[in-house]
């Protein structure tokens, strides 16, 4: 397994088991969950919970072929599109919060239970 790729996916926000399952999906292409779990070194029963979250977050999709479900990892291009969409949403939220007079930064800095941070 590519350790550097695994570490990048963890920095991107995936847990290590999620990252291993995603890398297995990229490596294998459309596959049964049992095959992906084996390739990723994740218990099959645990893989179902992990996969549900990865599907919710759009890292995987699933297709039914006959009576079986095949799981397909999102491409790196799809990940880039997800990042661009998140960036657009953050910019929109920033515009809306400014127009509503909200300042999240002030809350964090002046809240009595917030930890002091250096800027």
Question: How many separate domains does the chain show?
Answer: 2
Q: Which residues pair with 114 in a beta bridge?
A: none
- Say if 42 falls within a structural domain: yes
Encode pLDDT of 61-118 as tens digits.
Answer: 999 999 999 999 999 899 999 989 989 998 998 888 888 777 655 445 555 555 555 5
Encode pLDDT of 21-50 as tens digits.
Answer: 999 999 999 999 999 999 999 999 999 999
Whichever domain contains 17, its CATH number is: 1.10.10.10
Q: Tell whether 100 and 63 lie within a shared domain.
A: no
Q: Tell whether 67 and 82 lie within a shared domain.
A: no
Encode burial over 83-109: b for 16+ CB neighbours within 10 A, e otherwise: eeeeeeeeeeeeeeeeeeeeeeeeeee
Strand 60-65 and strand 68-73: the pairing is antiparallel
Q: Tell whether 51 and 69 lie within a shared domain.
A: yes
Q: Is the pTM of this model over 0.95?
A: no
Running DSSP on this structure, what letter comes out for residue 116?
P
């Amino acid at each position: 397994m590519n350790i550097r790729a695994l570490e990048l996916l963890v920095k991107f926000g995936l847990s290590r088991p999620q990252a291993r399952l995603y890398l297995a999906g990229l490596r294998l292409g459309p596959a049964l969950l049992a095959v992906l779990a084996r390739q990723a070194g994740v218990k099959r029963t645990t893989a179902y919970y992990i996969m549900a979250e990865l599907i919710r977050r759009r890292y995987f999709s699933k297709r039914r072929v006959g009576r079986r479900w095949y799981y397909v990892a999102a491409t790196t291009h799809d990940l880039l599109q997800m990042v661009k969409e998140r960036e657009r949403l953050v910019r929109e939220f920033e515009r809306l919060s400014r127009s509503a007079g909200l300042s999240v930064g002030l809350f964090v800095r002046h809240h009595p239970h917030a930890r002091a941070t250096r800027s």
